[in-house]
Amino acid sequence: MPYLDGYVGVANYLELLGDGRFWSSLAVSLIYTATTVVLQVVIGLALALLVMEMKRGEALFRFVAILPVVLSPAVVGMVWRTFMLAPEFGVVDYLAISAGLGSRNWLGDPTLALVSVIVIHTWQWTPFAFMVLLASLTALPEDIYEAARLDRANAWARFRRITLPLLRPAIVMVVIMRTMVALTAFAAIFTVTGGGPGTATEILNLYAYRKSFTELSMGYGSALAVALLALTVAISLVLFLVRRAR
């Protein structure tokens, strides 16, 4: 059709299929998302259970635990880059040297850089999972646990057969919300590594940014952004269906 002359939108999407960098960034995004979400849920639930058993200091613990969430991701990235992960002078490197592991280039090694950004995201957003799961734990009916104790159910049995099933809706909701945020993460990774070294920490969101504003390929960058949107919607839909089925 004449009015479609010069239209390359479909070509941009077809180009995605043969773009090795796209598949690499997609793999990094999925690894980053899956790892951070699992860690946030596990650590958040563990902290919530710990607070439930605390006799004193619960309010102070909650205050300290929630602090990372109120910080901007860009600020978090700068703090970790300059104060925590700096070679020889950073806190993490100092601890590694003290433990006899030697100095590490945490942001220069591809594997360590990916682990580092996963740790940073987990550190900042675990308090969200912690607060949601703690609120859910405090709302659980105590009479069920009393009945389980009368039946001589041990702590592990009570956790596996009572706590986890009752917390499942809250856990699924945390997974959904944290997955959507992790898939679109940008500021912290951009501040800490810029997607490097090479493309080791280049998630799909960052690849779209680089294509659009660094390489000035706006059409292809837009196609990458739409692909990221489609991936986010698809994963969120699957998680919502799982939640409804449960």
pTM (predicted TM-score): 0.89
- Compute the average pLDDT of residues 212-230: 90
Lowest mean pLDDT among 38-42, 117-121, 214-218: 214-218
Residue scoring higher pLDDT (117 or 169): 117
Sorted by where each starts, the structural domains of the chain and their CATH numbers stand as 12-245 (1.10.3720.10)
Give the DSSP letter string of the chain: -GGGTT--HHHHHHHHHT-HHHHHHHHHHHHHHHHHHHHHHHHHHHHHHHHHH-SS-HHHHHHHHHHHHHS-HHHHHHHIIIIISSTTTSHHHHHHHHTT-----TTTSHHHHHHHHHHHHHHHHHHHHHHHHHHHHHTS-HHHHHHHHHTT--HHHHIIIIIHHHHHHHHHHHHHHHHHHHHT--HHHHHHTTT-STTTT--HHHHHHIIIIIS--HHHHHHHHHHHHHHHHHHHHHHHHHHHH-
Residue scoring higher pLDDT (146 or 36): 36
Calculate what percentage of the chain has a pLDDT beyond 70. 96
- Compute the average pLDDT of residues 41-61: 87
Instruction: Give tens-digit pLDDT for 140-191.
Output: 888 888 888 888 888 888 888 889 999 988 998 899 999 988 988 899 999 9
Q: What is the pLDDT of residue 43?
A: 95
Mean pLDDT rounded to a whole number for the chain = 88
Which residue matches tokens 């942001």? Answer: 107
Q: What is the pLDDT of residue 4?
A: 43
- pLDDT(238) > 50: yes
Which residue matches tokens 């779209």? Answer: 208
- pLDDT(2) > 70: no
Q: What is the pLDDT of residue 52?
A: 86
- pLDDT(129) > 90: yes
